[in-house]
Amino acid sequence: MSNLRNAILKTIIFMLLVATLSLKPGQVRGDVLSAPKGQAGIEVEQPTVAVTFGQTITFSAKLKTPLPIQQASLLFRGVNEETTRVETLQVAADGSVSFTYDASLNVFPPFSWIVFWFQATLQDGGTYTSSPIQFQYKDDRFPWRQVTHAGIITVHWYAGDDAFGAAASDTAAAGLLAMSEFIPITLSEPTEIYIYSNVADLQATLLLGGAEWAGGHAHPELGVALVAVTPGASQFIEMETAIPHELAHIMLYRWLGDHYADQPAWLIEGISSMMELYPNPEYARALEIASQTNSLIPFADLCASFPADSGSAFLAYAQAQSFVAYIRDSFGTSGLTRLTSAYSDGFTCELGATQALGVPLSQLDLRWRETVLGQNVAGVAFRNLLPFLLLLLMVLIVPLWGAIDMLRQRRKHASQPN
């Protein structure tokens, strides 16, 4: 077993090293703030950002200009946002400026990257803009430790020893190798995994970041995954469930690009659940109970999103994992690829299945319930036997029709006068 793990890790590390060579020059992914020169007329000195996660972000700097400043502004946004926030600044005599942003009301996702810059209108009427500076909005409530593979995949944790971090890193590598059979693996951008020691800590972080209930969470566009794993006897099972699942979201996003948002929630979550190295054993029990009580969620209701409450959400994950596995078993991995392509082309949730698999989603839902969960057993048996019944009918009807025709001919001859 150890030889297999070593072989897996060597393969992944090789992939990571190759990916390292494809990093774009000039990418900034560190905590050190630099102040590149902007337009002539404004220089930014000593830029600093003080973060109290979930509460405040304080921007400070000193603006150097050749003429007195009439008006100055701070502009900032998340690197993946389109809306820029603009705040007017009070400029001290020495050019110092400072602004404190209320991050409790205007949230940024945890561990997202924020870019900011300054604008100043001088006494001559000219307006000048500094070059942008970026920083990561980290959850600073915990003493994070980290381990990095080839500068690409970084695992962060604050509870557990070095072996815990190494095990998480190994799990990430093994998960990537397993999912590479279906999802194209893109490692040209850094990927970060943050491991919380319990669900409560993770939930508090997500709430502060504006997210609702989730057992784990990924910001695919940021390359960031958040999971909860408690150090101890069950840590390996928890890692093998949570880490590959969230990594799959990131790899799916990098594969599908902007079309990631066009995919049904059940398809994205179902594929990610299939990538788990240790699937949740409670899924089968949840499906059994829901099937018996007729409380399964129609997949048409799982297209846009999953339910917010934890009980219904768990059932939705169980259904998605089983349903997507059924599609893979019935139509192959190429069937799943055709599905993602159909939804990327703009087909609706119902018709995307028809386009890719020749079966509408509602009919596919019924077939899954019958085949996997055993609902409508009589109907399934009849449908399976129908070709044989038709063949039997053909075998019987031909000689019967011949016998009837012969009898009619005899009656016809008997009724004719001699």
What's the pLDDT score for residue 404?
A: 66
| Angle, CA of 148, 47 and 24, to the nearest 5° | 40
Same domain, 124 and 156: no
Domain holding 59: CATH number? Answer: 2.60.40.10
Same domain, 128 and 156: no
Q: Among 117, 136, 155, which residue terminates a domain?
A: 136
Contact between 152 and 172 under an 8 Å Cβ cutoff? The reply is no
Same domain, 98 and 168: no
Domain holding 347: CATH number? Answer: 1.10.390.10
What's the pLDDT score for residue 414?
A: 62
Dist CA 407 CA 415 (whole Å) = 12
Same domain, 71 and 214: no
Contacts of 169 (CB under 8 A, 6+ apart): 147, 149, 153, 155
What's the pLDDT score for residue 301?
A: 97
Same domain, 313 and 348: yes
Look at residue 249 and tell me if it is in a domain.
Answer: yes
Same domain, 239 and 268: yes
Contact between 248 and 270 under an 8 Å Cβ cutoff? The reply is no
What is the distance between the terminal CA atoms of the chain, rounded to a whole angstrom? Answer: 95
Same domain, 366 and 282: yes
Look at residue 101 and tell me if it is in a domain.
Answer: yes
Contact between 279 and 320 under an 8 Å Cβ cutoff? The reply is no
Q: Among 353, 373, 393, which residue terminates a domain?
A: 373
Look at residue 51 and tell me if it is in a domain.
Answer: yes
- Domain total of the chain: 2
Look at residue 192 and tell me if it is in a domain.
Answer: yes
Contacts of 18 (CB under 8 A, 6+ apart): none
Look at residue 59 and tell me if it is in a domain.
Answer: yes
Same domain, 203 and 81: no
Burial class (CB in 10 A: 0-12, 13-18, 19+), 240: buried
Same domain, 64 and 131: yes
Same domain, 174 and 126: no
Look at residue 22 and tell me if it is in a domain.
Answer: no
Contacts of 260 (CB under 8 A, 6+ apart): 220, 252, 253, 268
Q: Per residue of the chain (418 residues), give pLDDT as tens.
A: 444 444 444 454 445 434 433 333 333 333 445 555 555 678 999 999 999 999 999 999 999 999 999 999 999 999 989 899 999 999 999 999 999 999 998 889 999 999 999 999 999 999 999 999 999 999 999 999 999 976 779 999 999 999 999 999 999 999 999 999 889 998 888 899 999 999 999 999 988 866 665 567 889 999 999 999 999 999 999 999 999 999 999 999 999 999 999 999 999 999 999 999 998 999 999 999 999 999 999 999 999 999 988 899 999 999 999 999 999 999 999 999 999 999 999 999 999 999 999 999 999 999 999 999 998 744 444 444 455 555 655 655 656 656 666 666 666 666 666 5
Q: What dihedral angle (degrees, nearest 10) is formed by the CA atoms of 51, 57, 63, 67?
A: 180
Backbone angles phi, psi at 151, to 5 degrees: 70, 10
Contact between 222 and 112 under an 8 Å Cβ cutoff? The reply is yes
Same domain, 226 and 290: yes
Q: Among 78, 106, 136, which residue terminates a domain?
A: 136
Look at residue 390 and tell me if it is in a domain.
Answer: no
pTM: 0.79
Render the burial of 128-139: b for 16+ CB within 10 Å, e for the rest: bebebbbbbbbb
What range does the domain containing 290 cover? 145-373
Dist CA 18 CA 307 (whole Å) = 40
Look at residue 240 and tell me if it is in a domain.
Answer: yes
Give the β-pairing of 191-196 and 224-228. parallel
What's the pLDDT score for residue 90?
A: 96
Same domain, 129 and 216: no
